[in-house]
Structure formats: C-alpha cells, structure tokens
A and B are shown apart, each in its own frame.
Chain A
Amino acid sequence: MEVPYTVENRPDTGLYNAKVGIWLFLASEVMLFGALFSSYILLRVGALEGHWPTELLNVPIGTVNTMVLILSSVTVVMAWASLKLNDFKKFKMYQLATVICACMFVLIKSYEYRDKLTHHDVVLADGMRVDGHLVEETDEYIILSHPVSYPAVKGIGYRPTAIKEAEHGDDHHHAEDRKIMLADIVKRTTWGPWANTYFAIYFTLTGLHALHVIAGALVIAYYWGPGSKMWKTNPEQFTNRIEVSGLFWHFVDLVWIFLFPILYLL
C-alpha cells in the first residue's frame, strides 16, 4: 500500500500529509512543555521570599549553548533551502553542521550536569552547612573545593540568601579546599534533581529538552547519512522529509529560547 500525499498537496488541507502531521505533533509538544512551564511558574511563585535559588547556573555557558542552538536552526533551514536549489553538496554540509551543533549542545549540557552532580551540600553536626565541589573522597573524609559555609536552619533546605551573605563575608568567601571528616557530617547530598524543588524542575525541563535534541539530532544525522540515498530516487519527498525534520528542530530551538532566561537569568 502506498502512503498518499507524500509529495503532492492534499486538496482539502493544501499541504502534504507529513507537514500536517508534524504540526499536530508539535501542538501536542507545546502542551507537554506548557504543563512543565506552568509547574515551574507555580513553584516559583509559591516559593518563600529569598528561598528560590538564583545565580546557580553558569550564564556564559548557557549563552554559548543558546548561540549554538540558534546557529543550528539556521543551518537546518539552509540545508532545506539547498535542496530546493538542487545543491546536494551544500545540503550535506549544512546538515552535518546541524549535527555538530547538536552534539556540542549535548556535550555542554552534560558538562553543566556533571558540575551540578559533583557539587556537594553538607550539613555538619555543629549546625553549619557547607557546599562545594567534591575533590577527594576517602573512607574517613571528603575534600570540597571553593566551599561556602553558612548556618543551617532546621526544616529549611537550601537558602540562597544565606549563601549570598556568606559569599560576601570575608571569612567564608571561596576559602581554601576544606577537609570534612565523615563523622562530622549529619546529612550529605549533591545538587541533583533530589536536592530541592529548583533542581527538580531544572533537571526535568532541561532533561526533557535534551532528549528532544538527541532525538532530533539522530533524525537529522540519518538524513545526512544513509537516509540521503532517497535524494536520488525521490528528491521531492526527500526535501519534504528534511522540511519536516527541520520544523521539529526549530521547535526544539523555540523551547530553549524560553528555558534559557527562565532558568539561567531570573
């Protein structure tokens, strides 16, 4: 059985079927991310004054990642335009550039994740709280780099205002690496999704987005590699497939355009 309207437009919609299909899919994706965005808003608005973590993410790295994704959005649309101009070599070049951008994005994101997952938050028996990056761990002690210490408050987890005060204080600002005996530790956690509400929504939103980036990159890589054979047998359908995969990629870019200011800058 042949799939209808893969190239020619359907009379009632004026579009080939795959295009209507991808737009319907993107509409469902808007609702998926919309639900998570609204969850973020609810958590953010509901947080007590001074308790919502800010400035924990690296803005220059986030900006670079934004630029990478914007660039990939241009290369993906240029790949489609190259096919329209019958320039297959340029298509291959732009398609490869998109895949490289996607890999860069995922690598940078992985670096950010690693940075957070090695950041330890420790509550000590003397009532102080220390956070910093884990440098060394033995059976007896851990060593944290760039530690920031501030008084722990029972019942309250992460306190950005207390950290800010500690960072501006002469005694605590980025002191030497700190050795902490395991016997002195009451509670220890890392800045993963389990750390607090902020990191839970941060990892959920960026993790889901990263999965979309990986999925989109796999499709684009397929049409750059083995899937590109179709250009010889059915160039119009191939061009349409590139347009459809491009639409998905632009959506991924759109989501990041909103995620970046919300998570990194506010």
Chain B
Amino acid sequence: MSGHGPEEIKKTIRTYLKVLGVLVVGTIATVGASYLHFDSMAMTVGLALLIASVKAGFVALYFMHLIDEQKIIYKLLGLTTFFFLGLMVLIIWASGDKPMNTVMP
C-alpha cells in the first residue's frame, strides 16, 4: 500500500468495514447456493467457486492491499497463477486418462 497518511488510513478503515459486510453476505450466499439443486454438478461447483473467488478477491485486493501494490508483487503473483493453473489443468487433463467404464465390484 503506497499512501499511509492518517486521513488515508481512516478512509481505508471504512473500506475494511465495507469489505467485512461483503464477506459476510458472500458467506451467507455460499451456504444459500448450496441448497439450490442444479441438474449439473459442474454448475453447483462453478457457482460455489465463483462466490468463493469473489470473496477471496476482496480479501486479496483490500485486506492484503493488492489493489495498490508494487509491480514486483504482481509479477510474482502472475508467475504463481501460471504455475497454479498449470497444476490444475494437468491434473484435470490426467483425470481424463482413467478407464471410461469402471466396473463395479
């Protein structure tokens, strides 16, 4: 976070409280969404992860000050995101290698 003047900090505190509200509403929405029964599992998972990502975004942007950070941190996180997505994609890709017709014991 670049600016640390008292006025700016006081303004930021108000933002923190707003973010708290968003996170509480987000948590209630996550629990509420779990009672919606979609036909597709992918839809259920997608919605849950979407709400979680929005909540995580608010924490990262405001509490971790990523909204106003130095370039080196963005570069570092960009690299982390690349490897994280690579890990996920490779795993999902590999899951396609399992036998299509699993025989029930």
Residue positions of A touching B, CB distance < 8 A: 13-15, 19-20, 23-24, 27, 30-31, 34-35, 37-39, 41-42, 45-46, 48, 59, 63, 66-67, 70-71, 73-74, 76-78, 81, 84-85, 154-156, 246-247, 250-251, 253-254, 257-258, 260-262, 265-266
Contacts and interface: CB of A to CB of B under 8 A. Distances in A.
A31 B24 CA distance: 27
15 contacts: A13-B70, A15-B70, A19-B73, A31-B80, A34-B88, A38-B92, A42-B94, A67-B24, A71-B20, A74-B17, A74-B20, A78-B13, A265-B33, A265-B48, A266-B44
A85 B10 contact: yes
Interface in B73-105: 73, 76-77, 79-80, 83-84, 87-88, 91-92, 94-95, 98, 102, 104-105
A258 B52 contact: yes
A46 B51 CA distance: 25
A81 B27 contact: no
Contact of A84 (B9, B33, B56, B94): B9
Interface of B: 4, 6, 9-10, 12-13, 16-17, 19-20, 23-24, 27, 30-31, 33-34, 44-45, 48-49, 51-52, 55-56, 59-60, 63-64, 70-73, 76-77, 79-80, 83-84, 87-88, 91-92, 94-95, 98, 102, 104-105
Contacts of A59: 31, 34
Given A70-B23, A251-B64, A261-B34, 15 more contacts: A15-B73, A42-B94, A42-B95, A59-B31, A70-B27, A77-B63, A81-B12, A250-B60, A253-B63, A254-B59, A254-B60, A257-B52, A260-B27, A265-B34, A266-B44
A85 B17 CA distance: 17
Contacts of B83: 31
A15 B73 CA distance: 9
- A interface, over-half SS: helix
Given A45-B95, A59-B34, A70-B24, A85 B80 contact: no
A250 B72 contact: no
Contacts of A266: 34, 44-45, 48
A27 B17 contact: no
